[in-house]
Each structure stands twice: as structure tokens, then as C-alpha cells.
Amino acid sequence: MAEYAYSAPLSIDDAVGILEDHANSGRRAQVLAGGTDLIVQMRGTDREPRTIVDIKRLEETNRIDADGDDIYIGAAIASAVLDEHEELKRLLPGLLESAYLIGSTQIQGRATLGGNLCNSSPAADTIPAMIANRGACVIAGPGGRREVPVEDFCTGVGTNVLEAGEFLLGLRFPRPAPGTADAYLRFIPRTEMDIAVAGAGVSVTLDGNGVCTAARVGIGAVAPTPLIVPEAAESLVGTRVDDDALVAAGEACTAASSPISDKRGTVSYRLKVVGVLCRRAGAIARDRVLARGG
């Protein structure tokens, strides 16, 4: 009978080596970050033995870099750590809010952006916010490193572009241009401890006159994967992100969605709500820029 094993490699090469070995010999290995998805799954629906590869001892996964042209957040950084990072809070308030929505205080002591992404749930809260912030996935693997835009990372419900031997090192975001702010909103019927029925992350850049020069919109829980919605962004660019523009952006999100009806919401409900969330998140992002005085 197969057995559980645990390893916590100290170098990226070792981690890749272990993952590759397992892949080559047909044994199952799985990366462990905070474990708030993985351990729940191991105790519930998926009890099959496997090797757990803990990536929390690597320098590259534990690093936050918020000072350069690029922002880097390691794949082992817990939400609670992000939440206490003043510079990141200032630069990416919406992204941090999306991480702050995950679970409870206890869960946030462990949960990571990387785990949220690699679990690849259509309803993952941080993914639309990462898309809105032009995030890129930094991936290590047998062939070295590669980067994939966040919006291209998930390929289906619970699946992603990671190949055998690969794992996520961290996430890279271009430093937001002046006049940029983001926001993320999700809808759940409760106040917390629930899964998004729909979610929308919006980033807008306004010029000195309050006119939108760039925008990005990501949405979640309304398709098999989180989506980038360029049409929504386009309806904001060139406007003052006024009500009309926001309504148009919301409609673009509705149009881009292909949700299902399930115990968490109906198709028509999700189509409506994703538009509402995009509109409201867009207004918050806009107001954030304006409150800063551009």
C-alpha cells in the first residue's frame, strides 16, 4: 500500500527534483503551502496517500519585495503577513482585501495567494484581484523558470498550467502607475466563511483630470476559471469612471460570464450580481485614486 510522506526541501532544485522524481515514477506528490485547502481535502474527499512537498522553507517563497519596479510576493506568504504590510496595503489595497476575505483569522495565518491560485477554484477570491493588478505567476521547474500571466494560469475547475515537476515560486506585479488603485468585491449570502457566488476585481488608472487611462477587470465564480474581461476595462478607459461607464463595464462582465446554477446561486442571479460587483468595485477603485488626490 502507498504511504504518506512529507518533505520540506531547502532549495528550489531539491523541490523540483522531488516533484520530478515522483512524476517520473508515477507516484503522487503534492505541494503544500498553508494547507488550508490541501489538508481539508486530505481529510475529506481525497485521502489517497501521497508525498507532501512543503515549500515553506524556501527563501524565494518567503520573500516580499515591495520596493522595486516590480512587486514580488512569495508563494509561502500568509494572508496575515500581507495584511500587516503597510506598503502593500497602500499599493494594492484591493488585492489585500481579497486575501483578507479568505476564511477567518486562523485561516489567514496560513492561507497564501499562491495556494489560492494553485487550488484553481473558479471562486478563488484573490485570482480576480491578481488579474486586475496584472499579476504574473513565477514558476520554477525542471526547465528553469517561466512566467505566466495570472489570467492564463487556470485551465479549468481545479486545473492549471503547472507541468510535472513545476511549482509556483511567487507572484509578480508591476508597480502600480501613479493614479492607480484597485478594489475587489465578492458576493456571499453571509458576512464571512463562505464561497463567492460571484467576485470582481477592478484596477483603474486616472490622469490628473480624473480620466481613466488604463483599467483591468477580473471576475470569478461565473465561469470554469476566473476571467479577465478586456471589454469591461475598455468601457472604463477614456471615461471619468462615471455611472454610465461603470454600468457598461458591469454589462461587459455579465456578457463575459458563463455561470452555472447550483446550490450557491442561479445563472440569472450570478449574471446580474457579477455586473453589480464590477460596477461597485470600479467605483471604489476610482474613489481611492481621487481620495489620494490622483
Q: Report the phi/psi class of residue 221: left, alpha or beta, with left for phi > 0 and alpha for psi in -120 to 50.
A: left
The verdict on 22 binding ligand FAD (CB under 6 A) reads: no
Using the minimum distance from each CB to other proteins, give the nearer residue, 71 or 273: 273
Cα maximum dimension of the chain = 67
Residue closer to other proteins by CB (options 108, 205) is 108
Collapsing DSSP to helix, strand or coil, 19 comes out as helix
115 belongs to the binding site for ligand FAD (CB under 6 A): yes
| Cell triple for 15 | 523541490
Q: From the list ligand FAD, other proteins, none, pick the one residue 34 interacts with, judged by a Cβ distance below 5 to 8 Å according to partner type.
A: ligand FAD
> How many residues bind other proteins, per CB under 8 A?
19
Task: Give the range of 109-117, 135-143, 193-201, 216-224 binding other proteins by CB under 8 A.
Answer: 193-201
Among 264, 282, 283, 285, binds other proteins (CB under 8 A): 264
* Residue 38 or 71 with smaller CB distance to ligand FAD: 38
Nearest to 134 by CA among 121, 147, 146: 147
Neighbour-count burial for 24-43, b at 16+ CB within 10 Å, e otherwise? eeeeebbbbbbbbbbeeebe
In the complex, least distance from residue 59 CB atom to ligand FAD, rounded to whole angstroms: 14
Q: Would you say 245 or 273 has its CB closer to other proteins?
A: 273
Binding site for ligand FAD (CB under 6 A): 30-38, 40, 55, 75, 101-103, 107, 110-112, 114-116, 118-119, 124-125, 162, 167-168, 193
